[in-house]
Amino acid sequence: MTPAGSLLVARDLRKTYGSTAALDGASFSVHPGEVVAVMGPSGSGKSTLLHCLAGIITPDSGSVTYAGRELSEMPDAQRSALRRSDFGFVFQFGQLVPELTCVENVALPLRLNGTRRKEAERMALRWMERLEVDDLVAQRPGEVSGGQGQRVAVARALVASPKVVFADEPTGALDSLNGERIMELLTECARTAGTAVVLVTHEARVAAYSDRDIVVRDGRSRDAEYAV
């Protein structure tokens, strides 16, 4: 049975690379405004699960449903549009575009969706102020610290008011103080906006910011909210 009120649901996902099973029957659900930590050892299938949930890769079998729509049934262009509008992303090393200034990086999802530059950068500045990096507007990623860059990345993930934010080891490259600050800001902003957060981590201190943990081991997940 699918949990009532779920925004994003994966059922019995399987994905194999060569002879290696990255996912072997994983199931998952997340509700609007909920922060879910996906935990497990290295190589357990956490990132593969996240990429399937986000429609970046297609599972060999099983289904991923977002807001009642099956991702695998959407054409590539529609899935790409969904990742620009409804999904936001934060990665371990930020993955900011080095040629762009910080405000241009934050505004990028809006620009890709057709928002005019002036309006996009106005909205970007609002999020940069909220995440306390508005003094970095004209700086490029190579000119800021790791903690500052990751806050810029969080602003970029939230600027388009996504319904789901996928965070893949977002504090992995940071010291503990900066890591905790990033998690405080990410979860606070997401909860205020009613955004669901899917957080991949192997650190208990990071998972402590979540409402619920899902453990992935050997490609299988244990989700207490998901009855199959």
114 falls within a domain = no
Greater model confidence, 92 or 80: 80
Express each pLDDT in 117-153 by its tens digit: 999 999 999 999 988 899 999 999 999 998 899 999 9
Tell me, yes or no, whether 142 lies in a domain: no
Report percent pLDDT > 90 for the chain.
Answer: 61
Q: Is residue 185 in some structural domain?
A: yes
Average pLDDT over residues 12-30: 92
193: three-class secondary structure by DSSP: helix
Domain count, the chain: 1
Judged against a pLDDT cut of 60, whether residue 37 lies above it is answered with yes
Q: Is residue 126 part of a domain?
A: no
pLDDT at 227 over 50: no
Find all residues with CB under 8 Å of 203, minimum gap 6, and list them: 171, 179
Mean pLDDT (whole number) for 16-22: 91
Residue 1 has pLDDT above 50, yes or no: no
Amino acid at position 196, single letter = A
In a domain, 193, yes or no: yes
Read off the pLDDT of residues 199-213 as tens digits, 9 standing for 90 and up. Answer: 999 888 999 999 999
What is the rounded CA–CA span in Å between residue 189 and residue 169?
A: 18
Q: Residue 77 sits in which domain range?
A: 8-86+162-222
Q: In angstroms, rounded to a whole number, what is the distance separating the alpha carbons of residues 151 and 182?
A: 6
Do the domain assignments include residue 40? yes
Please determine, for residue 30, whether its predicted confidence score (pLDDT) is greater than 80: yes
111 within some domain: no
Q: Is residue 96 part of a domain?
A: no
For the segment 167-173, the average pLDDT, to the nearest whole number, is 87
For residue 16, pLDDT over 80 is answered with yes
CATH code, 185: 3.40.50.300
